A and B are shown apart, each in its own frame.
Chain A
């Protein structure tokens, strides 16, 4: 039974955690792609920026959350989302809009977004340094240990407070996005513009407004993803390049331009990663007696070492590109 607990802790929970974060990030990437038709490489740094804003705010108001009984970082998250959304809109106005106005190829926008990535990285590291910092400035990270009601399950299922918040907020964000896209006038206009930008303009939809709304949503979601990731582990300024690949892989697996696909893709990539680095020899232990010796003898049956985690999203990406470039949900062919 302990093996099952081990599996839940190391695969189910860990996979859901990274899956949620990739999903929120991939939704932003896929929305930006469907409206502006380019792969936004600065997304990882927008996530970092959001987390950094939370860090700054939490440092400034460490006691903000005490009144509500939640970590201060969480109370201040909406403010950080607004700031990140503002940053995203500003970046678009300053750097992407002039390029779009020139009618450049999408790949030039990709290069432009790499330029933005470097600028954001430079600024964040300039102010935050390069070392990791905890977002729990004045709060204590609660850790819940749930004992399983089974015979022989001695080890508890361990889940931390930020992980619970992560699941709840991811669920809220996905439902909220669904309602926005399908019920609200602006959300429908966003889908319309993603379908056919010329016709959207001919219908009187102000495309500049839609672009701005897209950045607000993408920026807000990026702040959520960055903050929740930093709450779960620590805030690190140089995470972005390692986040980009899984997020893009998730968006492409789900079908680019397909928000629900991005959510599914995020969890596919998240679970694939944790399953790949999971040491399967633990799971074989209960069957030790009935298995051949060579299989049980080796202590490590993980597919890849944790240091090669980044290979997993890349592998998924290559497989999907070779096998089905539109993604599993038939997104746009880019």
Chain B
């Protein structure tokens, strides 16, 4: 049974449909990457999966269980984590408090998971008593991912985790995504840096105008001349 199975998803904001039938399947332990031009509905799809957007048609299954249009806090309970692109930390809370908020629904996990997150992101351990608002962009992204991991998700949704970061930090984030994935967490992320992202992807989804254009393994998409020509800038 696939970890996430989205079939023919339609949805949008206030009557305007942005998604016009998107299919997406990820097995456990896989990294899925959504790429595509601006306005293709990449982030919208992520929000639809996380219940932040009304799905008007189609269905989304998490391990075979329908989850579309459930509120986010229910989805967190069911093992999903979401890292928004912007405003993804609590700036006045310390790093440690940020992480604790991630485990709000599972307070018994806090000690064990804190240890694990500090292992994933060692810089966070040194800064754990600092307000998250004072950290650099890359460190904030670590706090955001760490926060989502605290609830021990089986599927982690990342919305453009490398947006606005320098190339150095970008590589670091991709490495950490791989690391988290190797610990058994399924990943679905939206990325602008399509080439780098597809390079680590088990599955790639190229969206355009709210529909699947190409769906294949990351490596196959990278090798496909048509994908390269129209979406990866040659």
Interface centre among A185, A189, A204, by most chain B C-beta atoms within 10 angstroms, is A204
Q: Does B58 contact A (CB under 8 A)?
A: no
The listed residue (B84, B87, B105) touching A204 by CB distance below 8 A is: B105
What is the CB-to-nearest-CB distance from B33 to chain A, in angstroms, rounded to a whole number? Answer: 21
Q: Does A211 contact B (CB under 8 A)?
A: no
Q: Does A105 contact B (CB under 8 A)?
A: no
Nearest residue (CB) in B for A185 is: B107
Assuming the A-B contacts A185-B107, A196-B87, A198-B87, are A204 and B100 also in contact, with contact meaning beta carbons closer than 8 angstroms in the complex?
A: no
Within 8 A of B (CB), among A185-219: 185, 188-189, 191-192, 194-196, 198-206
Asked whether, in the complex, the Cβ of B87 is within 8 Å of the Cβ of A203, the reply is: no
Assuming the A-B contacts A185-B104, A196-B87, are A202 and B93 also in contact, with contact meaning beta carbons closer than 8 angstroms in the complex?
A: no
Q: How long is the Cα–Cα vector from A194 to B91 in the complex, in angstroms?
A: 10
Q: Does B215 contact A (CB under 8 A)?
A: no
Residues from chain A with Cβ under 8 Å of B82 in the complex: 202
Asked whether, in the complex, the Cβ of A189 is within 8 Å of the Cβ of B101, the reply is: yes
Q: Is the interface of A mostly helix, strand, loop or mixed?
A: helix
What is the CB-to-nearest-CB distance from A108 to chain B, in angstroms, rounded to a whole number? Answer: 20
The listed residue (B73, B89, B97, B100) touching A199 by CB distance below 8 A is: B89
Residues from chain A with Cβ under 8 Å of B104 in the complex: 185, 189, 203-205
What is the CB-to-nearest-CB distance from B68 to chain A, in angstroms, rounded to a whole number? Answer: 17
Asked whether, in the complex, the Cβ of A204 is within 8 Å of the Cβ of B73, the reply is: yes
What is the CB-to-nearest-CB distance from A238 to chain B, in angstroms, rounded to a whole number? Answer: 38
Assuming the A-B contacts A192-B90, A206-B73, are A200 and B84 also in contact, with contact meaning beta carbons closer than 8 angstroms in the complex?
A: no
The listed residue (A188, A198, A206) touching B101 by CB distance below 8 A is: A188
Asked whether, in the complex, the Cβ of B72 is within 8 Å of the Cβ of A204, the reply is: yes
Assuming the A-B contacts A201-B72, A204-B104, are A196 and B151 also in contact, with contact meaning beta carbons closer than 8 angstroms in the complex?
A: no
Q: CB-defined interface of B70-85 with A at 8 Å, one 1/0 digit per residue?
A: 0111001100001010
What is the CB-to-nearest-CB distance from A64 to chain B, in angstroms, rounded to a whole number? Answer: 38
Asked whether, in the complex, the Cβ of A199 is within 8 Å of the Cβ of B92, the reply is: no
Residues from chain A with Cβ under 8 Å of B98 in the complex: 192
Asked whether, in the complex, the Cβ of B100 is within 8 Å of the Cβ of A191, the reply is: no
Q: Does B50 contact A (CB under 8 A)?
A: yes
Asked whether, in the complex, the Cβ of A199 is within 8 Å of the Cβ of B107, the reply is: no
Residues from chain A with Cβ under 8 Å of B90 in the complex: 191-192, 195-196, 199-200
Residues from chain A with Cβ under 8 Å of B147 in the complex: 203
Asked whether, in the complex, the Cβ of B89 is within 8 Å of the Cβ of A188, the reply is: no
Asked whether, in the complex, the Cβ of A195 is within 8 Å of the Cβ of B84, the reply is: no
What is the CB-to-nearest-CB distance from A173 to chain B, in angstroms, rounded to a whole number? Answer: 22
Q: How long is the Cα–Cα vector from A191 to B93 in the complex, in angstroms?
A: 7
Q: Does B41 contact A (CB under 8 A)?
A: no
Residues from chain A with Cβ under 8 Å of B77 in the complex: 204
Nearest residue (CB) in A for B90 is: A195
Asked whether, in the complex, the Cβ of B72 is within 8 Å of the Cβ of A188, the reply is: no
Residues from chain A with Cβ under 8 Å of B148 in the complex: 203
Asked whether, in the complex, the Cβ of B84 is within 8 Å of the Cβ of A203, the reply is: no
Residues from chain B with Cβ under 8 Å of A205 in the complex: 73, 101, 104
Q: How long is the Cα–Cα vector from A202 to B88 in the complex, in angstroms?
A: 10
Residues from chain B with Cβ under 8 Å of A196 in the complex: 87, 89-91
What is the CB-to-nearest-CB distance from B108 to chain A, in angstroms, rounded to a whole number? Answer: 11
Assuming the A-B contacts A189-B104, A204-B73, A205-B73, are A199 and B88 also in contact, with contact meaning beta carbons closer than 8 angstroms in the complex?
A: yes
Residues from chain A with Cβ under 8 Å of B88 in the complex: 199
Q: Does B102 contact A (CB under 8 A)?
A: yes
Asked whether, in the complex, the Cβ of A203 is within 8 Å of the Cβ of B50, the reply is: no
Nearest residue (CB) in A for B50 is: A202
Q: How long is the Cα–Cα vector from A106 to B72 in the complex, in angstroms?
A: 24
Nearest residue (CB) in B for A193 is: B90
Asked whether, in the complex, the Cβ of B73 is within 8 Å of the Cβ of A185, the reply is: no
Asked whether, in the complex, the Cβ of B92 is within 8 Å of the Cβ of A195, the reply is: yes
Assuming the A-B contacts A204-B73, A206-B73, are A191 and B92 also in contact, with contact meaning beta carbons closer than 8 angstroms in the complex?
A: yes
Nearest residue (CB) in B for A207 is: B73
The listed residue (A191, A199, A206) touching B84 by CB distance below 8 A is: A199
Asked whether, in the complex, the Cβ of B72 is within 8 Å of the Cβ of A195, the reply is: no
Nearest residue (CB) in A for B73 is: A204
Residues from chain B with Cβ under 8 Å of A199 in the complex: 84, 87-90
Residues from chain A with Cβ under 8 Å of B84 in the complex: 198-199, 202
Residues from chain B with Cβ under 8 Å of A202 in the complex: 50, 52, 72, 76, 82, 84
What is the CB-to-nearest-CB distance from A275 to chain B, in angstroms, rounded to a whole number? Answer: 33
Q: How long is the Cα–Cα vector from A202 to B52 in the complex, in angstroms?
A: 9
Nearest residue (CB) in B for A204 is: B76
Residues from chain B with Cβ under 8 Å of A203 in the complex: 76, 101-102, 104, 147-148, 151
What is the CB-to-nearest-CB distance from B85 to chain A, in angstroms, rounded to a whole number? Answer: 12
Which B residues form the contact surface with A (CB < 8 A)?
50, 52, 71-73, 76-77, 82, 84, 87-93, 97-98, 100-102, 104-105, 107, 147-148, 151
The 4 closest A-B pairs by CB, nearest first: A204-B76, A195-B90, A204-B105, A204-B73
The 25 sampled A-B contact pairs (Cβ below 8 Å) are A185-B100, A185-B107, A188-B101, A189-B101, A191-B90, A191-B92, A191-B93, A192-B93, A192-B101, A195-B90, A196-B87, A196-B91, A198-B87, A199-B84, A199-B89, A200-B90, A202-B52, A203-B76, A203-B104, A203-B148, A204-B73, A204-B102, A204-B105, A205-B101, A206-B73
